[in-house]
A and B are shown apart, each in its own frame.
Chain A
Amino acid sequence: MTDPSIDLINIEKRYGSQVAVRGVDLQLNASESVALVGHNGAGKTTLMKLMLGLIRPSAGTVRVLGEDPVASAAVRSRNGVGFLPETIAFNASMTGAEVITFFARLKGVPKAEGRDLLARVGLSDAAGQRVGTYSKGMRQRLGLAQALLGSPRVLLLDEPTTGLDPQLRQSFYAIISELRDAGATVLLSSHALTEIEGQTDRVAIMDRGRLIALGTIEKLRSIARLPVRMRISVESRAENLVQHLDGTVLNVSIINGAITGAEMNGFTVDLTCGDDSKMEVVRRAAAFGPTVRDIEIFPPTLDELYARFLDGERAG
């Protein structure tokens, strides 16, 4: 395995007496996308600023593409870094085309690539307009276009999907996976796990300046051991079913079917069970016979997962 593209070792950042980030270890590799999730003020932006060399860590080591980002030698390595800030601001009197050409020059990228990127984010028609007239979504798209200049090896995106409509969000994630597949390291932050929609390889959860969880969504699910919800619809003998499932479920309730009438009478059995006993419940329900009409399984939502990690952190 090669060196990580982004390497944070025991990072701490204080502003006066206020601790913005503490004890963060994070290694991100080439060809992976990672979501940095946390509520506002959890330290996501601070972490990105540290990676960009905009601020210096109070303690610890930061390496991006092998360089200390605040060192003067890092000026060159920034050719390989793209950044989309949370609130993007441009020189309002410049047109979209001028903005992208300006940034392309600074990155030593041909002008044509800037034009192509504008087309890619759907801004070709607005390229001649001043940025001051752009909507929030358009500014965000222009911001994304400049971040993609020069096919960066490290792409840092701070709350990138806010202000994007669902269609654009999809094409945005498509661009991210494409870059990731081409070998880039993509780090994007979000204040909610659901925002990420499972689009990244790994998730890092931050809370009050600390990194409290890191791994794939599946790994986080298994660590969190959140119960699975299930809904079994039966035509009759719901009590028998419940007895039959005894020992595998944590919690169960029977709801009378909404449809009334002699033959259509049905029952819904709502239950929760541990992730490990999920299959046993399904097997037993299936074995219960033809009276079982339907089995629905609801894995824990990302919000529940996120809340679990925050609760666990605060309780501990």
Chain B
Amino acid sequence: MRHILTLAGREIRDGLRNRWVLAITVLMAALALTLSFLGSAPTGNVGVGPVEVTIVSLSSLTIFLLPLIALLLSFDALVGEFERGTMMLLLTYPVSRLQIIIGKFLGHVSILAFATVLGYGAAGIALAAAGNGNGFAVWRPFVAMIGSSVLLGAAFVALGYLISAAVGNRGTAAGLAVGVWLAFVLLYDMALLGALVADQGRTLTPEVVNLLLLLNPADAYRLFNLTGFANVSVFAGMAGLAETLRLPPALLLTALAAWIAVPLTLAAMIFQRRQV
């Protein structure tokens, strides 16, 4: 455990030093604040929108942004150290490869969690200060969004680690990371939509669609935030969908957790066998 913390600490210090932490936090805070205060602009008025509107717009943005940041943070976590030659020395120390991968992963997830909590938290505090949203019921979805955003980020960090463990050089890893981002964030939903239209409900029954949505961490995140809470789903235009989907929030969170555990386990297995 001590070794894991030492390794995580090094990643965090590295992130602080090369301004990654600062850049991500500022970016997230700026976007969150902009969306909270200009979120109602499409409806014709500029001003502070309700918390629920902020949650809808912010979570939609998170789906695009956070996976990209997570992949950028993680794609060279292992392959970069192999290429620079720092991994070879590290592997001669009394640390197991499992400890190395878990320690580094925790370090990167901490950076992402810190930036998300601080950036989105700032927006939440600003909304509250502007006299918006009273009571726990309003803020619960907001807190849940921050928490699930961290999970979504962690899932893509885990995917980044899988790429990083599997490929031989940084260039390939970077290319694959962009590919994974495109596939999960953009192409998957388009393909699913196209299939639904073409299929006309013959083989793609609601059960199959549910399963397919769980097979993409971005969709699990989207559904959790847009259908998980009745007051939010009204604003998201998902109220009707939420009833037919029948994917309980706990299941969606489990799917996100699986999207962290499975890629990270695979990454650890590949890393374990890799020769230097």
A joins B in a complex: yes
Chain A residues within CB distance 8 Å of chain B: 49, 52-56, 72, 75-79, 81, 83, 85, 87-91, 93-94, 98, 102-103, 105-108, 146
Give the Cβ gap from B43 to chain A, nearest Cβ, in Å. 46
CB atoms of B94 and A55 under 8 A apart: no
Give the docked Cα–Cα distance between A137 and B132 (Å): 61
For residue A81, which residue of chain B has the nearest CB?
Answer: B92
Does B202 belong to the interface (CB within 8 Å)? no
Q: Once the chains bind, are A93 and B18 in contact (CB under 8 Å)?
A: yes
B276 close to A102 (CB less than 8 A): no
Expressed in whole angstroms, the Cα–Cα distance for A75 and B90 within the complex equals: 12
Does any Cβ of A come within 8 Å of B140's Cβ? no
B94 touches A75 (CB 8 A): yes
Return 20 A-B CB contacts under 8 Å, by A number.
Answer: A54-B88, A55-B276, A75-B95, A75-B96, A76-B94, A77-B94, A78-B92, A78-B93, A85-B89, A87-B85, A89-B84, A89-B89, A90-B86, A91-B86, A94-B13, A94-B14, A106-B90, A106-B95, A108-B94, A146-B89
Are A107 and B92 touching (Cβ within 8 A)? no
* In the complex, residue of chain A having the shortest beta-carbon distance to the beta carbon of B276: A54
B residues engaging A (CB < 8 A)? 2-3, 6, 10, 13-14, 17-18, 84-86, 88-96, 275-276
Please measure, in the bound complex, the distance between the C-alpha atom of A88 and the C-alpha atom of B85, giving whole angstroms. Answer: 7
Q: 15 other contacts beyond A52-B91, A90-B86, with CB at 8 A cut-off?
A: A52-B92, A54-B88, A54-B91, A54-B275, A72-B96, A75-B95, A75-B96, A76-B94, A79-B94, A85-B85, A85-B89, A89-B86, A89-B89, A94-B14, A106-B95
Partner of A83, one of B2, B92, B95, B275: B92
Q: Verify A107–B94 contact, CB threshold 8 A.
A: yes
Give every chain B residue within 8 A of A98 (Cβ-Cβ): 13
Q: B152: shortest Cβ distance to chain A, in Å?
A: 28
Residues from chain B with a CB closer than 8 A to the CB of A53 are 91
How distant is the Cα of A77 from the Cα of B85 in the complex, in angstroms? 22
Taking CB atoms, residues of chain B closer than 8 Å to A55 are 275-276
CB distance from A32 to the nearest CB of B (A): 21
Q: Which residues of B contact A75 (CB under 8 A)?
A: 94-96
Which chain B positions have C-beta within 8 A of A94?
Answer: 10, 13-14
Q: Which residues of A contact B94 (CB under 8 A)?
A: 75-79, 106-108
**Residue numbers in B under 8 Å from A76 (CB-CB):** 94
Q: How far is the CA of A83 from the CA of B85 in the complex (A)?
A: 13
Which residues from A are CB-within-8-Å of B89? 83, 85, 88-89, 146
A91 CA to B89 CA in the complex, in Å? 11
Q: Contacts of B92 on A, CB cut-off 8 Å?
A: 52, 54, 78, 81, 83
Instruction: Establish whether residues A91 and B10, one from each chain, have CB atoms under 8 Å apart when the complex forms.
Output: yes
Asked whether A107 and B276 contact (CB < 8 A) given A89-B85, A91-B14, the answer is no
* CB of B273 to closest CB in A, whole Å: 9
Do the beta carbons of B96 and A105 come within 8 Å of each other? Answer: no
Q: Judge whether A85 and B88 touch: CB under 8 Å.
A: yes
Cβ-neighbour of B93 out of A56, A89, A107 (below 8 A): A107
Give complex CA distance A103, B85 in Å: 15
The 5 closest A-B pairs by CB, nearest first: A89-B85, A54-B276, A78-B94, A83-B92, A106-B93
Contact A103 B17 (CB under 8 A): no
Q: Which residues of B contact A72 (CB under 8 A)?
A: 96
Chain B positions within 8 Å of A105 at CB level: 2-3, 6
Separation of A91 and B18 alpha carbons in the complex (Å): 12
- What distance in Å separates the Cβ of A223 from its nearest Cβ neighbour in chain B? 34
Give complex CA distance A108, B88 in Å. Answer: 19
Q: Which residue of B lies closest to A74 (CB)?
A: B94
Q: How far is the CA of A49 from the CA of B10 in the complex (A)?
A: 25
* Nearest chain A residue, comparing its CB with the CB of B83: A89
Complex Cα spacing A49 to B89, Å: 11
Enumerate chain A residues within 8 angstroms of B10, measured Cβ to Cβ: 91, 94, 102
Which chain A residues lie closer than 8 Å to B275 at the CB level?
54-56
> Nearest Cβ distance between residue B74 and chain A, in whole angstroms?
16
Closest B residue by C-beta to A101: B6
Inter-chain contacts of B2 with A (CB < 8 A): 105
Q: Which residue of B lies closest to A150 (CB)?
A: B94
Contact A102 to B18, CB < 8 A, known contacts A56-B275, A75-B96:
no
Chain B, residue nearest A69 (CB): B92
A residues near B6, Cβ cutoff 8 Å: 102, 105-106
Provide the bound-state CA to CA distance between A52 and B96, in Å: 13
Minimum Cβ distance to chain A for residue B1 (Å) = 12
Docked CA distance A106–B103 (Å): 12
**Nearest-CB residue, chain A, relative to B91:** A54
Shortest C-beta distance, A188 to chain B (Å), equals: 15
Please give, as numbers and ranges, the residues of chain A lying within 8 Å of B91 by CB-CB distance. Answer: 52-54
Smallest CB separation, B168 vs chain A (Å): 14
Q: Nearest CB to that of A89 among chain B residues?
A: B85
CB closest chain-A residue, reference B10: A102
Taken together as a complex, chains A and B put the C-alpha atoms of A91 and B275 apart, in Å, by 21
Q: Are A49 and B276 in touch, CB under 8 angstroms?
A: yes
Let me know if B17 and A93 touch, CB within 8 A: yes
**Nearest chain B residue, comparing its CB with the CB of A106:** B93
CA distance A122 to B96 in the complex (A): 31
The CA-CA distance from A308 to B93 in the complex, in Å, is 38
Q: Within 8 Å CB of B276, what residues of A?
A: 49, 54-55
Chain B nearest Cβ from A213, distance in angstroms: 28
Q: Would you give the shortest CB distance from A200 to chain B, in whole angstroms? A: 21
> For residue B84, which residues in chain A have a CB less than 8 angstroms away from its CB?
89
In the bound assembly, the distance between CA atoms of A164 and B87 in angstroms comes to 24
